[in-house]
Amino acid sequence: MQNRVFVIDVNKQPLNPIHPGRARKLLKQGKAAVFRTYPFTIILKKTVRDPVNEPHRIKLDPGAKVTGMALVNQRTDAVVWAAELTHRGDMIRQKLADRRRVRRNRRHRKTRYRPARFDHRKRPDGWLAPSLQHRVETTMTWVERLGKCCSITDLSMELVRFDTQKLQNPEISGVQYQQGVLFGYELREYLLTKWRHECAYCGAQKVPLEIEHIHPKSKGGSDRVSNLAIACHQCNQKKGNKPVEQFLKKKPEVLKRLLAQANAPLKDAAAVNSTRWALFNRLQETGLAIEIGTGGLTKYNRTLQGLPKTHWLDAACVGKSTPMLNIATSQPLLITCTGRGGRQKAAINKYGYPIRHNPLKPIKGWQTGDIAKHRVHGIGRITPRSRGSFVLSKPDKTKKSVKPIDLKPVFRRDGYSYKWA
């Protein structure tokens, strides 16, 4: 089952998404034309007066590397469109580090006695590192794109992955939360992520894992989340109520790693939590009603409906408003942020010296990442060359040498690459 096809009329007014079969029929009859390839949108060749648009909700599950997105029809409870957006924060961070290294090297050579200027810099309120700001901007880009081709009335997002206040102090919202089912999901999901879904003592994976006290309660250990770990049944029973130092007496490396990891925060979770608040503030500026949820609630909704663990299904299960979903699609669009290329006129080596010249883009009207159709070899991704022929990369990873005159544009590069799951 594929994603539904977005439809707009001749005035670019969004209509209800339709089945791909119906879209093919409209295109074949000449009643519509392709308006955009990703997300696939067709434009009718007439004006639709007073359209009856059904309400749709965009649901977001922001992540450190991948953000899940789902579009849910609130009348039929159907997931009509889904995508997984892969960020390039690590690449941005690496490129900035390389640029800083080259600049510092050059300044040391050219202006060795240049006075320090770090005291002259001031970051504005709400500043985020470029690798984090990138996550906010790309997510907002896709929210705005979906808003232009579908009638969006509500938003849902996972604001915090774990409710850390309630993990540290279960009584903060009363006994009902502490004794409810949801609290167990919050705590267990946090610990599974913290210990990377493996036994803290033996490293066993893909086995049933249990919540275990590092310092036993019978020896004065507490129920705080920093004193909890995930262990397999065999290690849990073998340890019993022994102090962890006694249990791992013959494994000092494991003991050192365990005690350090028990008090270490989740690096990705900390970064994503700051990003999510920035994203939440940007979503508020849209004027749409926003529903928020936690990671524990998301997992509870997904488990209750028997759905597998994927980014886009997690997004579909965000929030308390999640009904019994009708999954109308099973093939999400996989979106990868690639950027729009650099502006370096010359490539440099590790010492900062130029090694080759970078040709100016576009080349004969084409840029790397454009999708084109060749009259013989079909559709593929274009890599232009300043001299000679271009390279056409096919979906099956084969490459063909083609002439620019034989190419017809299908989709111009927009900073993302696309494929189907």
pLDDT tens string 106-120: 888 888 888 877 777
Contact 190, 162 (CB under 8 A): yes
3-state secondary structure the chain: CECCEEEECCCCCECCCECHHHHHHHHHCCCEEEEECCCCEEEECCCCCCCCCCCEEEEEECCCCEEEEEEEECCCCEEEEEEEEECCHHHHHHHHHHHHHHHHHHHHHHCCCCCCCHHHCCCCCCCCCHHHHHHHHHHHHHHHHHHHHCCEEEEEEEEECCCHHHHHCHHHHCHHHHHCHHHHHHHHHHHHHHCCCECCCCCCECCCEEEEECCCHHHCCCCCHHHEEEEEHHHHHHHCCCCHHHHCCCCHHHHHHHHHHHHCCCHHHHHHHHHHHHHHHHHHCCCCEEEEEEHHHHHHHHHHCCCCCCHHHHHHCCCCCCCCCEECCCECEEEEECCCCCCCCEEECCCCCEEEECCCCCECCECCCCEEEECCCEEEEEECCCCCCEEEECCCCCEEEECHHHEEEEECCCCEEEEEC
pLDDT of 266 higher than 90: no
Mean pLDDT taken over the chain: 86
Is it the case that residue 168 has pLDDT exceeding 90?
Answer: no
pLDDT grade, residue 181 (50/70/90)? very low
Question: What integer is the mean pLDDT of 307-316?
Answer: 93
Question: Which of 153-162, 274-283, 395-404 has the weakest average pLDDT?
Answer: 153-162
Q: Region 173-187: what's the mean pLDDT?
A: 49
User: pLDDT, tens digit, for every residue of 316-329?
Assistant: 999 988 989 999 88
Average pLDDT, integer, range 94-101: 88
**180 pLDDT tier (thresholds 50, 70, 90):** very low
Does the pLDDT value for residue 123 go beyond 50? yes
CATH numbers and ranges of domains, the chain:
6-44 (no CATH), 59-107+128-337 (no CATH), 350-421 (2.30.30)
pLDDT higher than threshold 50 for residue 227? yes
Determine the average pLDDT of the residues in 119-136.
Answer: 87
Report the pLDDT value the prediction gives residue 421, as an integer from 0 to 100: 78
Q: What is the pLDDT of residue 157?
A: 93
Predicted confidence at residue 273, as pLDDT, reads 72
Pairing assessment for the beta strands 390-393 and 228-232 based on DSSP bridges: unpaired
Q: Is-above-0.85 flag for pTM?
A: no
Range picked from 53-57, 107-111, 384-388 for highest mean pLDDT: 53-57
Roughly what angle, to the nearest 10 degrees, separates helices 267-284 and 130-149? Answer: 40
**Cα–Cα distance, 174 to 189 (Å, whole number):** 21
Contact 216, 242 (CB under 8 A): yes
Span 182-209, average pLDDT: 80
- What percent of the chain stands above pLDDT 70? 92
pLDDT in the model for residue 267: 61
pLDDT, position 395: 80
